[in-house]
Amino acid sequence: SQALQLISRTPRLDIIAVNTAISSCGKGQQWAAALKLLEGVFKRRLQPTVISYSATVTACERGQQWQQALELLQDLHRASLQPDEIVIGAAVSACEKGRKWEHAMYLVGVSSLPRDSG
């Protein structure tokens, strides 16, 4: 992936640049490259955002990788980030494409629960 090569050669990056590259991988249906970019966020000691996860889940959804999308959703929770409608919607869509209706319905149900506003 060109995005992966460019990011790997750039010495100083911010999370916005990485998120843009992840999104680009998703549009090109290169879910594995998107995952590598997200892994690189941690190696570069950058702080991933909900957008980082959302773009990666979307890439997995487009690549019909529903299991990976669900794992990323769990990672997002472990990172103490609050999922938004975009990342939940992408995970639901990934489950639907994988014909995992029970997982999709669970995500819809969980996402409709009231959120703690702090």
pLDDT digits (tens, 9 = 90+) for 26-77: 888 899 999 999 998 888 888 999 999 999 999 999 999 989 998 998 898 8
Using one digit for the tens of pLDDT, what is the confidence trace for 80-111? 998 888 888 888 888 788 787 777 777 776 66
Structural contact between residues 77 and 83, judged by C-beta atoms closer than 8 angstroms: yes
pLDDT at residue 118, rounded to an integer:
46
**What percent of the chain is helix, strand and coil (3-state, nearest 5)?**
70, 0, 30
How many Å apart are CA 88 and CA 36, to the nearest integer? 21
pTM above 0.85, yes or no: no
Cβ atoms within 10 Å, residue 106? 14
The better pLDDT of the pair 118, 55 is held by 55
Amino acid at 4: L
**What region does 29 belong to: left with phi over 0, alpha with psi -120 to 50, or beta?**
left
